[in-house]
Chain A
Amino acid sequence: MWRQQKFDIIVVGGGPAGSTAARYASMNGVKVLVLEKDRDIGMPVRCGEAVSEEGLKNFMDPDPRWIKSTISKIRLVSPSDYVVDFDMKARGFILDRRIFDYDLAQMAAMEGATIVTKAYVNGLLFDGDCVAGVKGKYLSEPFELRAKIVIGADGVESRVGRWAGLQTQVKMKDMLSCVQKTVTGIEVDERRFDFYLSKKWAPGGYIWVFPKGKNRANIGLGVSGKYCREKSAYRYLDEFLQHCYPNHSVLTTVAGGVPCDKTLKTIVTNGLILVGDSAHMVNPMTGGGIIPAMKAGLLAGETAAKAIKNKDYGEKYLSRYSREWHKIGGKNHERYYRLKNTITELSDEELDNIAKAVLKIPEDERTITKIFLKAVMKKPKLIYDVTKVFAGI
């Protein structure tokens, strides 16, 4: 029974960040326990389920069991319905995350990690100023379990960092309040990601239509916390669906939150590492967080395992993880964050004008590179940047 065993590392949260961290730590020969509060890994799916093939390929081979659609085109729709289509250089996928998240957890288990569901963590144990384990409830019964390192992979709702004194609260303007419906009874191009950028539909965020086959799609939106005082995300989405897909039927409705921020300044402390949404590692431009969570999970798992071998769990040793993440992701996210701030400040009229300028370029010449080369005005360059970032989700 896991409560009587000794573990080197406890991972809080069994999402992509937690499972990947557990997989790579176990691979390096240390004992890992993953505690997930929900009864089911990966459920409910609070996600548009879009990833780039490029991002996935370092972790696993694409598997038809969890690929619902393969994407090769992007459509951006402006506030007055100017439609700008692009071909993507690299392919994207729409996943079935129920199956995908199970597989990620399975990969960790096959390397030797132990995974437990229905195990809710509600506090940390300390040795002096060093995190030394977790407190929680398993099927309502309290437990305490010590470990050398705790990895906080507890998603947007993360509290693990806060318990250790880290500042992880998400600022309202950077928080996207999201609702997504998986709908059917509609027709979509199953090879295309559609994005609607408009203050009217989703101020401070955007709407996505991600196909899951020809007659089904994840349609959702995120509204910046700066703008949801007047109207909730739920109402924004209903208005859009009534306008664009009046005959849709709903298969699933979920609420969600995406921290569209730069990575937190401090993501490690003595005996603790934060990874994924809990460390604000989502791409702040697109809201895509699966691949960043996995990339950082790999680094976190490997660093934690090395720290255990070196018997050094201090902040200084663990901060190599922060530096590595900054190199492969964090640094770019700072750029995307500035880009996001520019885009979300544009008025609907400005967005329409950008779309019109891009449309002057003949469709068959409208590759991303050509637009970049041809664009003389500053703003079409902006749409180039945006498309490039979205193409990599």
Chain B
Amino acid sequence: MIKIIQYKCDFCGSCVAVCPEDCIEMEEATLTIDQELCIDCELCVFICPFEVLEYVETAEV
């Protein structure tokens, strides 16, 4: 699953733009990922300019 390090996020929307599943929701100052829909493709992880997102094995969370 994708872990969000919230305090690093700048709410720029780059991750939302590339997500193939449309499972990222970005409000003014909160970012959430619908883990049910997420396919762990990691495109959001790579595109994020600020290294906010990280792939982790579910067991770690």
Contact = CB atoms under 8 A, between A and B. Distances in A.
A228 B47 contact: yes
Contact of B47 (A46, A122, A137, A177): A177
A155 B14 CA distance: 10
Interface in B6-54: 10, 12-14, 16-20, 22, 25-28, 43, 46-51
Contacts of A295: none
A172 B47 contact: yes
Contacts of A159: 16, 22
Contact of B12 (A38, A169, A256): A256
A38 B16 CA distance: 16
Interface residues of A, number: 34
B18 to A, nearest CB: 6
Interface size class of B (residues with CB under 8 A): 20 to 34
Contacts of B43: 172, 225
Contacts of B50: 179, 232, 234, 255
Interface of B: 10, 12-14, 16-20, 22, 25-28, 43, 46-51
Contacts of A179: 49-50
Contacts of A359: none
A178 B14 CA distance: 9
A161 to B, nearest CB: 10
A39 B19 CA distance: 25
A218 interface: no
A333 interface: no
27 contacts: A37-B27, A39-B28, A44-B10, A46-B12, A120-B27, A120-B28, A137-B27, A155-B13, A156-B13, A157-B26, A162-B22, A172-B46, A177-B47, A177-B48, A178-B12, A178-B14, A179-B49, A179-B50, A225-B46, A225-B47, A228-B47, A232-B48, A232-B50, A233-B49, A254-B10, A257-B17, A257-B49
Interface in A29-54: 37-39, 44, 46
Contacts of A158: 17
